[in-house]
Amino acid sequence: MWTLGFLVILSLALGIGAWLLFVWSVKSGQYEDPEGPKYRMLDDDDDDEGRKPGG
């Protein structure tokens, strides 16, 4: 019984972790541009992405 309870709690904890990740991904706007990543992935030259001012 104790093992079962432990496993239940463990699975819920893992699930809640995944759920929190999901909520974060929605809030940070990762579903706003579903098209982009498949093209950006093919860009070799990331040289000027996130370039600092003056760079």
Partner 1 sequence: MLRCDHCLLEFPEREAVRDAGPGGEKVFCCAGCRGIYRLIVEEGLQRFYSGRDWKEPGLPVAPGSARVDAASFQGAVRDADRLRELDVYVDGIRCASCVWLNERLLARTPGVTFARVNYATHRARVRFDPERTSLETVLGRIAAAGYAPKPYSEAEGYAARRAEARDLLVRFGTAAFLSSQLMIYSVALYAGTFQGIDPSTRRLMEWVALSLALPVFFYSGAPFLTGAARGLRRLRFDMDALIVLGSGAALGYSAWAMAAGREVYFDTAAMIVTLVLLGRYVEARAKGRASEAVSRLAALVPRVARLVVRGADGRDERRTVPVAEARPGDRLEVVPGERVPLDGAVESGASEVDESLVTGESRPVAKGPGAAVVGGSVNLHGSFVLRVTRVGKETVLAGIIRAVEEAQAAKPRIQALADRVVGVFVPAVLLLAAATVAFHLARGATGPGALMIGVSVVVIACPCSLGLATPIAVLLATGMASARGILVKGGDVLEEAGRATDVVLDKTGTLTCGRPVLREVVALDPALSRDGALALAAAVERRSEHAFGKAVVEAARSPGAAPLPEAEGFRAVPGRGVLATVAGARVAAGNRALLAGLGVPVPGEAGARARRYEEAGDTVARLAMDGRAVALLVVSDVVRDEAPEALRALRDLGLGLAVASGDNRATTESVAARLGIPRALSEAAPARKREIVAEMQASGRRVVAVGDGVNDAPLLAEASVGVAMGRGTDVTLESAGAVLVRDDLRLLPDLLRLARRTRSVIRQNVFWAFFYNAVAIPLAMAGLLHPIVAAAAMAASSLFVVGNSLRIRRVW
The residue ranges that bind partner 1 (CB under 8 A) are 1, 4-5, 8, 11-12, 15, 18-19, 22-23, 26, 31-36, 39, 43, 48-53
DSSP symbol at 43: -
Distance of closest approach, residue 45 Cβ to partner 1, in angstroms? 8
As a whole number of angstroms, the distance between CA 20 and CA 44 comes to 32
Distance of closest approach, residue 33 Cβ to partner 1, in angstroms? 5
Instruction: Show the 3-state SS of 11-38.
Output: HHHHHHHHHHHHHHHHHCCCCCCCCHHH
Distance of closest approach, residue 22 Cβ to partner 1, in angstroms? 5
